[in-house]
Amino acid sequence: MPVGTAGTVKAMLPESVKETGADILLGNTYHLMLRPTAERIYNLGGLHKFMNWAQPILTDSGGFQVMSLSSLSKLSENGVTFKSHIDGSKHELTPERSMEIQKLLGSDIVMCFDECTKFPGSERASLNSMQLSMRWADRSKIAFGNRPKHALFGIQQGSVFKEQREESAGKLRNIGFDGYAIGGLAVGEGQEMMFEVLDYAPSQLPTGKPRYLMGVGKPSDIIGAVARGVDMFDCVLPSRSGRTGQAFTRRGVVNIKNSRHTDDKRPLDSDCKCPACLNYSRGYLHHVFKSNEIICSMLMTWHNLQYYQDLMNDIRTAINNKNFFNYQKAFFEDVKEGDIERV
């Protein structure tokens, strides 16, 4: 799911995002509540109309950004009070307010309000954080109410502690949600440890409902997580990497800023059908990157979003053909992420 933090996927038109095959976009509760405000978006017709996106929108709860971006945040049983990173104004975000904001935005998939457990941290601190998030999940469910054709996802916490993850999953199952997210990962623990948690965390959640790994990630992260039972992903990496000159390809990662691409007539990826690959050479992309031209961010972002959608489509095809693990093996044999000189 491409990330449209402030009501836009950076450097992309919504129509262009749709052309890549994306079905769901993300919006960010924290950023939108501060600017332009959820109430203003509601008065302008809701987030779908506001950002010209007719497909589903998933919004996060705002909890992660409150703790990571705002200054002087103060946590309590009721919620979080904080100062805006934009102008220093004071705000309070609670489970009830988070549900209200996401309703005003018109979100199709709403995330319950939680605290993203800090990593690294002690087992006791993780337990306290997880149990607070579970109490907030209960309040989020009550505040969400009965909203046909809208979904509410619970978020499993518990850091890297298996018993805490199981306790969290049990509480979420008892409350009952339309889907379940795995939170508190991709926060600095590294891929190996993340996979250790994913070896058990997805199976602790109900079967037959979506499992969403929040904020992940690199292509190898996604394939490893799918192998362990995850269905849904979001990450700023495709668009952020595109704006900084990094492209994901079927044979590795390309840093278009490198001088070796100056006279390269090849496309980024000969198997990709995005406009960047069909119409422009690496030499041109290198030139417009070095010239700080906006078109470079546009083309590189489009390519990365297309690559990720093609990746997910290939994964779905392999699963439907009962061939996923062969696909997974071939992927890691063909691509060594970061070995830029190969491509």
Q: Would you please indicate which residues are annotated as catalytic (active-site) residues? A: 60, 234
- As a three-state string, the secondary structure of the chain is CCECCCCCCCCCCHHHHHHCCCCCEEEEHHHHHHCCCHHHHHHCCCHHHHHCCCCCEEEECCHHHHHHHCEEEEECCCCEEEECCCCCCEEEECHHHHHHHHHHHCCCEEECCCCCCCCCCCHHHHHHHHHHHHHHHHHHHHHHCCCCCCEEEEEECCCCCHHHHHHHHHHHHHHCCCEEEECCCCCCCCHHHHHHHHCCHHHHCCCCCCEEECCECCHHHHHHHHHCCCCEEECCHHHHHHHCCEEEECCEEEECCCHHHCCCCCCCCCCCCCHHHHHCCHHHHHHHHHCCCHHHHHHHHHHHHHHHHHHHHHHHHHHHCCCHHHHHHHHHHHCCCCCHHHC
> CB-hemisphere CA count at 13 Å for 152?
27
The structure tokens 């997910």 sit at 312
Which amino acid appears at position 175 of this protein? I
The structure tokens 């990826």 sit at 269
**Secondary structure (DSSP) of 33-59:** HHTT-HHHHHHTT-HHHHHT--S-EEE
